[in-house]
Amino acid sequence: MPTKPAGTLYRGKVGMWSWVLHRITGVAIFFFLLVHVLDTSLVRLSPEAYNAVVSTYKTPLVGLGELGLVAAILYHALNGVRVILIDFWRKGVKYQNVMFWVVVVVALIAFAGFAPRHLIHVFHLG
Partner 1 sequence: MATEFEEMGAVPSFTVTLFVRRYNPEDGQEARWQDFDVQVHGTDRVLDALHKIKWEMDGSLTFRRSCAHGVCGSDAMRINGRNRLACKTLIKDLDITQPIYVEPIKGLEVEKDLVVDMNPFYQAYRDIKPFLIASDKPEKERLQSAAEHSKFEDTTKCILCAACTTSCPVFWTDGQYFGPAAIVNAHRFIFDSRDEAAEVRIDILNDKEGVWRCRTTFNCTEACPRGIEVTKAIAEVKQAILRGKP
Nearer to partner 1, 12 or 47 (CB): 12
Element spanning 28, H or E: helix 14-45
How large is the angle between the packed helices 96-122 and 60-88, nearest 10 degrees? Answer: 160
**Residue 27 Cβ vs partner 1, minimum distance, rounded to whole Å:** 14
Nearer to partner 1, 7 or 126 (CB): 7
How large is the angle between the packed helices 96-122 and 14-45, nearest 10 degrees? Answer: 40
**Residue 16 Cβ vs partner 1, minimum distance, rounded to whole Å:** 4
- The residue ranges that bind partner 1 (CB under 8 A) are 1, 4, 6-16, 18-19, 83, 86-88, 92-94, 96
